[in-house]
Structure 1
Amino acid sequence: MRTTTEPLRLITSDDVAPLAAGAAVFGTGGGGAVHTVQLAVESALAAHGPVRLLRVDELGPDDAVIIMSAIGAPSVGIEMLGASAQAATLLSEVERLIGRPVTAIMAAEIGGSNGVSPVGWAAALGLAVLDADGMGRAFPQATMISMNVVGLPSEFAVMSDVVGNVTVLRTVDIAWLERHARAFTVAAGGIAIGAHYLLTHETAPGAVIEGTVSRAIEVGRRLIGSSDPVAGIADELGAAVLVTGKVVDIDRMTEGGFTRGSVTVQGIGADRGRLVRIEIQNENLVVIEDGVVTVSVPDLITIVDSETGEAISTELLRFGQRVSVLAWACDPLWRTERGIELAGPRAFGYEIEYTPFTAAGAATAGEGAAVEEATR
């Protein structure tokens, strides 16, 4: 068993449960529930052996990294499992397009199942996993990725569904990629997998968020090993616990390839009398209390089980659940002008200005931006 002080160079079966737990936390409600994919990845590692975890500074001139992820509504992903040949089909088409072997896979987002699945795909395909991702969390749209923030273009995308249909997309920009990829996903039944953004030792540095796979494993180990999981992960993340209570209302639907809606948490114990609403589009986007926005994207908002600390994805929220709502600061890349343009509240239709969240300032939540009920 590896100790927490040793560098993580191979992802083994011992790392999968912590990775899943940490990725669920970074998923901010999205990226897909991790329970099923955890089993799939454990099975892949048992069959094919450990996967090498490759740092960005270890990439060489012969390395070719491809981003792979699922796309669609997380609520659909619960019931529609992937086909066994999907990843291999995707890889084969990518290698045909680029004319060279792919050597590593990177997660588009470290959040949710999309932060875990690449390990299983890499094991089955004999590839490494890059210790990085494109979001440092989960976001619902293809445009909301670090490579787009820094201006790195995506020259192509390949998508595959569970039936075996394969589509190659060459769009004028990533905003058009989002439109076409979402249309393919809806036609595929609401869930598909895709690959895009060929990365090399020249293009990856500065364009990706580094160390996020090993970071998710660290957070998961802290959660699993803590006698007070909520306090443990809040401390690990530098997060604030905004409210502890129970879910008293859920408004949720699947439309246009997204899970959209809101959830209301009624405070209990020391938070009795408080009502906090969280707006969602696959991920938790905005926290509103007394008509005031206290936290918003791109900062991270995660709803966890109050007893176990296990993150609850938006599609698994249920009336009566006892939950705690955590919030913490996003990667600095998302607080740049371009980052806020792509993934701030206005990108989701909220007519409010982004105010950077700090755990120290959470006690003064009443100073947040007022929001009207009909802002979206």
Structure 2
Amino acid sequence: MASRRQFLGGLVIATGALAACRQIETGEGSVLAANEGAVALDATALEDALVGSSYLGTGGGGSLSEARELIASDLAAGLAFTMLPVASLADSDRVACPYGLASLAQTSEDMQARLDAIENPVEMPVQAAFEALERHIGQKFAGVIMGEIGPLSLAEGLSTAARLGVPALDADTVGRAVPEINQHSVKVAGLPLTPIGAATPFGDEMIVETLGDPTRAEDILRSIAVVSRECGVTDSPITGAQAKAEGTLVTESLRLAMSIGRAVREAIAAGENPVEAARAAGDGYLLFTGTVSGFDWRDEDGFLVGEVRLSGTGEFAGQSFASDVKNEHLVARRNGAVIATCPDLISIIDIESGDGIVNPGYERGQRVAVLGFRCDPLWRSDAGLAVFSPRYFGYDIDYVPIEELAG
């Protein structure tokens, strides 16, 4: 799910959630806080999470630079960020999943002109959707489920939680970034995504009370995003008991992103290889190193679709690499042979900065490395592969775990 946003003016400081927090030392150079299981996240921990999410985002999840701007703006305004383990929820609590939905492709000139002519009263449609759903169900949410682990998607979830004074759960619905709402752990677990709150930057608010078929969520909400440039969404208003059930959410994904980001930061400070540090922190695989030799992009029904091609360097000199993209990397081939596919993670990293590259942000000649990581086990179930496998996206390729292809 790709996400774009505009910044909210007149920020307010979140209060209450941190009133009784006590600070503790992590031993990793970061000061955190605890309050009945909650952890307070400082600027370093947040930056680590964003960098780590650029590795787990598999080329999607929105701009890393915009994510950094959003978090910096929130910190400057005095917002406080907390993270809560799923196990700390009460059974009767409710939590929900806010995220932004949009195409990574450029808006056409005609559509852009039409949108620019409309007064734009809503600067944070994701928050507007979250609050609309709260009003609809008549209960305040106890926490925010991360929609996916990608830079701007993650930043928006963290920002929404901080803005509302509630913690962000150490969990998301994917464990990475994905093209469609159908790749959603709550849906795979057999729970309804409805009711769903939706809001646009133009003051439109909607509640999708029921769906005739669960797959209609993607069609309906994507169409709103296409005609509105972006759409704030909040779905899956599940109970604490449902959230804690095995297989409902991808747990500890926020901690994993922070762990990878911290490894990158510490490697850069020590003059070591940040890509290798990230690979080790995520227990992943080095799939390729090289330079960007070419890429092709097009907009298909609101999705960024294309291919990135690399020419090998170092141990991969003389070899070739190509990755097929639908917002995120789906299928990777080395020398024409499949080396990794969704739902496992394929990420292209800029060697100079140590940041994951968000599609379509490539330059010819750019020095890059490609990492692969194992997906969460829930995606390897029959229900998971039914909506998140190469065949689901139209490839005549069976899913084979990355450890078998790249190990």
Please report the TM-score for the alignment, with normalisation by the length of structure 2: 0.83
Alignment: residue pair count: 360
Q: Confirm or deny: 8 A CA contact 2:175 2:376 kept in the other structure.
A: yes
- Residue of 231, 248, 252 corresponding to 2:293: 248
Where does residue 164 of structure 1 map in the other structure? 203
Q: Secondary structure at the match of 2:343?
A: coil
2:131 aligned with 1:92: yes
- Residue of 264, 272, 276 corresponding to 1:223: 264
- Residue of 49, 58, 67 corresponding to 1:28: 58
User: Where in structure 2 are the equivalents of 1:1-376 lying within 5 Å?
Assistant: 2-4=26-28, 9-76=39-106, 83-169=122-208, 170-189=210-229, 191-205=230-244, 206=246, 207-226=248-267, 227-358=272-403, 362=406
CA displacement at 1:230 relative to structure 2: 0.9
CA displacement at 1:301 relative to structure 2: 0.3
**Unmatched runs of 5 consecutive residues or more in structure 2:** 1-24, 34-38
Q: Deviations over 1:28-52 (max 9, x none)?
A: 0011122112221222133243222
CA 176–155 in structure 1, closer or farther in 2 if over 3 Å, else same? same
> Which sits farther off after the overlay, 163-172 or 175-184?
163-172
Residue identity opposite 2:254 in structure 1 = V
Q: Confirm or deny: 8 A CA contact 2:196 2:207 kept in the other structure.
A: yes
Q: Confirm or deny: 8 A CA contact 2:98 2:127 kept in the other structure.
A: no
Residue identity opposite 1:282 in structure 2 = N
Looking at structure 2, the residues matched to 125 and 87 of structure 1 have their Cα atoms a distance apart, in angstroms, of: 12
CA 30–290 in structure 1, closer or farther in 2 if over 3 Å, else same? same
Looking at structure 2, the residues matched to 45 and 255 of structure 1 have their Cα atoms a distance apart, in angstroms, of: 37
Where does residue 11 of structure 2 map in the other structure? none
Q: Confirm or deny: 8 A CA contact 2:130 2:233 kept in the other structure.
A: no
Residue identity opposite 1:172 in structure 2 = G
Q: Secondary structure at the match of 2:182?
A: coil
Q: Deviations over 1:185-222 (max 9, x none)?
A: 11112x22210000211111220011111221111011
Where does residue 20 of structure 2 map in the other structure? none
Looking at structure 2, the residues matched to 248 and 98 of structure 1 have their Cα atoms a distance apart, in angstroms, of: 51
Q: Secondary structure at the match of 1:203?
A: helix
Looking at structure 1, the residues matched to 391 and 28 of structure 2 have their Cα atoms a distance apart, in angstroms, of: 40
CA displacement at 1:62 relative to structure 2: 4.7
CA displacement at 1:238 relative to structure 2: 1.5
Looking at structure 1, the residues matched to 257 and 358 of structure 2 have their Cα atoms a distance apart, in angstroms, of: 16
Q: Confirm or deny: 8 A CA contact 1:230 1:308 kept in the other structure.
A: no
Looking at structure 1, the residues matched to 257 and 129 of structure 2 have their Cα atoms a distance apart, in angstroms, of: 26
Looking at structure 2, the residues matched to 53 and 322 of structure 1 have their Cα atoms a distance apart, in angstroms, of: 35
Looking at structure 2, the residues matched to 274 and 257 of structure 1 have their Cα atoms a distance apart, in angstroms, of: 33
Q: Confirm or deny: 8 A CA contact 2:128 2:232 kept in the other structure.
A: no
Identity percentage over the alignment?
A: 28
Q: Confirm or deny: 8 A CA contact 2:144 2:157 kept in the other structure.
A: yes
Q: Secondary structure at the match of 1:314?
A: coil
Please report the TM-score for the alignment, with normalisation by the length of structure 1: 0.90
Q: Secondary structure at the match of 1:74?
A: coil
> Which sits farther off after the overlay, 103-112 or 19-28?
103-112
Looking at structure 2, the residues matched to 11 and 199 of structure 1 have their Cα atoms a distance apart, in angstroms, of: 25
Q: Confirm or deny: 8 A CA contact 1:72 1:192 kept in the other structure.
A: yes
Q: Deviations over 1:154-179 (max 9, x none)?
A: 12212112222122223223201111
RMSD: 2.2
Q: Confirm or deny: 8 A CA contact 2:221 2:231 kept in the other structure.
A: no
CA displacement at 1:2 relative to structure 2: 4.6
Looking at structure 2, the residues matched to 182 and 85 of structure 1 have their Cα atoms a distance apart, in angstroms, of: 18
Q: Secondary structure at the match of 2:218?
A: helix
